[in-house]
Structure 1
């Protein structure tokens, strides 16, 4: 297994993984991700913010990161965090607990760039995802109601209730 930045030739595969995720979200009656423009994904790749986990050159999981998330985290956003977004598993590799590898990677990445917090969010009161993320080491900080969603993707505007999760690395940096 290897974790590395995505490259532009991964764009179509990422978009197909997002499509599979949307289909699963619809099936499970969850908040559904919007369709992301190819240029949006290519921009994240160019900025080094799209990551992939591969096994035998197959993307089994991918995610995006940011270093600021003021609209979601408000005053807690103090330029001290890695924010993980859109964790997406390849449907052929679901159920393998890749979240544990992402957490392991993000802790090391956070230490390397001296960011003491790893944060993520999910929309709605998704008890399965709350359990999934807390079992991987995230602390569930509760649900927050988003108020300034104008610059966020549409699914944040459709569902303003947001679950917040955090791993504090202060004792490890």
Structure 2
């Protein structure tokens, strides 16, 4: 399957699509026994503001097949003080990587992470970082298999998150 990663997503055109994908992922995770995305089932104003901020900064990307079927999305940030604190590192952070159920198991997430990594290397970034709920052992193992190393933990109001990074240069 060939992936198309659409450029930065505009607020008015894709806001509902982003929200629907987040709700889709929250439902799937809940059904799989991981409940930390439950906030997206009925998002608070704080969560909606987080999403709106990312949309306004052009940080959300939509994923499509070459046939224009929507596969999923992710948010790419170049600073993340909430999870990683203030840092001078040249790093990029992925949040909210979502792949729709009918595309799971086809290597989409791996292809997306590899494509982002390649782009970051070409832009001379030093680190590729992400986090996940420490109770989501499947996702933790997935990131570790993809070459990310656990470098810390952070207690958030909704979960204990593990911090992962991959050194690029």
TM range (shorter): 0.7 to 0.9
Q: Which blocks of at least 5 consecutive residues in structure 1 are unaligned? A: 147-155
Per-residue CA deviations over 1:103-130 (Å, capped at 9, x if unaligned) read 2221122123322110000023321111
Shift of 1:79: 4.0
**SS in structure 2 of the partner of residue 105 of structure 1:** helix
**SS in structure 2 of the partner of residue 114 of structure 1:** coil
**SS in structure 2 of the partner of residue 111 of structure 1:** helix
CA distance in structure 2 between the partners assigned to 1:27 and 1:103 by the alignment = 25
- TM-score, normalised to structure 1's length? 0.79
1:2 aligns with 2:4: yes
- TM-score, normalised to structure 2's length? 0.81
CA distance in structure 2 between the partners assigned to 1:140 and 1:98 by the alignment = 22
Work out whether residues 149 and 164 of structure 2, in 8 Å CA contact, stay in contact via their aligned partners in 1.
yes
Structure 2 equivalent of residue 165 of structure 1 = 164
CA distance in structure 2 between the partners assigned to 1:12 and 1:145 by the alignment = 30
Shift of 1:40: 4.5
CA distance in structure 1 between the partners assigned to 2:104 and 2:52 by the alignment = 25
Work out whether residues 31 and 124 of structure 1, in 8 Å CA contact, stay in contact via their aligned partners in 2.
no
Work out whether residues 134 and 140 of structure 2, in 8 Å CA contact, stay in contact via their aligned partners in 1.
no
**SS in structure 2 of the partner of residue 60 of structure 1:** strand
1:9-158 matched pairs, under 5 angstroms:
9-33=13-37, 34=39, 35=43, 36-37=47-48, 40-55=50-65, 56-74=67-85, 77-141=87-151, 143-146=152-155, 156-158=156-158
Q: Which blocks of at least 5 consecutive residues in structure 2 are unaligned? A: none
